[in-house]
Amino acid sequence: MSSPSIPPDSANEIRNDWTKTEARKLISAPLNDLLYDAQKIHRRYFDANEVQVSTLLSIKTGGCPEDCSYCSQSAHHKSDVGAKKLMSLEAVRAAALRAKDSGATRFCMGAAWRGPKDHDLDNVCDMISEVKALGLESCATLGMLKDGQAERLKEAGLDFYNHNLDTSEEYYGKIISTRNFEDRLATLARVRQAGINVCCGGILGMGENRHDRADMLQVLACLPEHPESIPLNMLVPIPGTPLADTDPLDPLELVRAVATARIMMPKSMVRLSAGRLELDPSSQALCFLAGANSIFYGDTLLTTGNPQQRVDQNLFEKLGVRPAPLDATSPAE
């Protein structure tokens, strides 16, 4: 008997015309059907036992003028994260080298800015060049970009630009007031126009409902081109932020979101990002079964904890999965 969770004509084609109704029905399908369909599609485009490994470094921490309710780096909140200056080129290069030696193939750099000033961009471009010289893929998340800035990043060799939607357009105003949903889409368009791969996902567990998560994925799936990378974060409640007392989300909701992303965007890398420290090995295994094929590796994601490298290595050994080589992070045709 065929599974009812995938809409007709969706199992064998890349679509950019998903409706909210389809996305909401998909994410709420019986879990066994959802996982079965996601795994079938995952195996069509990727090696099901390979997981791409990335490392994330905060190159400029704290003092951000945005008021994102989940973030300890906002100047609006009373967290323990203080403002720091941009890291030196030498310090970033050393961190990238450590990441490479630990098995990472992609090195991501994050800065707590609303958007980069031109003189800051000069320094970041130098960092990108150093990362590329080490043989790593490069990724940056620097906030909103103005005209011409994405082109400069491309010239420096940037492979991926991360700019998350965070949540659905309907729920967005409950989380952030200093920017709007359209601002996010505008930067994504600039990144795509410059020829840089798009990394875009969201955060789960901020008080939104399942329909919000489906709606966010529907927006991503209806972009002119699907994001090459989709990071899915579980909220890490941080003291001093407005979401500090938020109840934890059931991990099965993350599993559902991963499977939905895999079905709607078959060729994208789906990454388990912040919040893995709160996930037990069984939940992570279900996420891999649902189609997740990328993780952040190391002890810290910007300002929140992440499983230690040895813990991840042990998990990989238990599951029989292996880190993907650099040339294996593109989907099979």
Q: Residue 23 falls within a domain, yes or no?
A: no
Query: Is there a catalytic annotation at residue 200?
Result: no
Q: What is the pLDDT of residue 303?
A: 47
Spatial distance between the Cα atoms of 87 and 58, rounded to a whole number of angstroms = 9
Query: Is there a catalytic annotation at residue 222?
Result: no
Q: Residue 209 falls within a domain, yes or no?
A: yes
Q: Residue 13 falls within a domain, yes or no?
A: no
- pLDDT, greater one: 130 or 4: 130
Q: Residue 270, SS3?
A: strand
The active-site residue out of 125, 199, 200, 287 is 199
The active-site residue out of 24, 93, 271, 276 is 271
Q: Residue 299 falls within a domain, yes or no?
A: yes
Q: What is the CATH number of the domain that holds 226?
A: 3.20.20.70
Angle formed by the axes of helices 309-319 and 281-290, nearest 10°: 60
pLDDT band at 306 (very low <50, low <70, confident <90, very high): very low
- 146-195 tens-digit pLDDT: 999 999 999 999 999 999 999 999 999 999 999 899 999 999 999 999 99
Spatial distance between the Cα atoms of 191 and 234, rounded to a whole number of angstroms = 25
Q: Residue 131 falls within a domain, yes or no?
A: yes
Q: Residue 214, SS3?
A: helix
- For residue 305, the cross-strand partners are 300
List the domain range (segments joined by +) for residue 288. Answer: 29-319
Q: Residue 42 falls within a domain, yes or no?
A: yes
The conformation of residue 298, written as its DSSP 8-state character, comes to: S
- 222-264 tens-digit pLDDT: 999 999 999 999 998 888 898 989 999 999 999 999 999 999 9
pLDDT of 318 higher than 90: yes
Q: Where in 5-136 does DSSP place strands (E)? A: 50-60, 106-111
Query: Is there a catalytic annotation at residue 108?
Result: yes
Q: What is the pLDDT of residue 305?
A: 47
- For residue 160, the cross-strand partners are 139, 197
- 95-110 tens-digit pLDDT: 999 888 888 889 999 9
Q: What is the pLDDT of residue 310?
A: 78
- The count of domains in the chain is 1
- 17-56 tens-digit pLDDT: 999 999 999 999 999 999 999 999 999 999 999 999 888 8
Query: Is there a catalytic annotation at residue 287?
Result: no
pLDDT of 63 higher than 80: no
Query: Is there a catalytic annotation at residue 114?
Result: no
The active-site residue out of 93, 106, 125, 139 is 139
Specify the pTM.
0.91
The active-site residue out of 68, 125, 200, 287 is 68
The active-site residue out of 24, 106, 108, 262 is 108
Q: Residue 226 falls within a domain, yes or no?
A: yes
Q: Residue 173 falls within a domain, yes or no?
A: yes
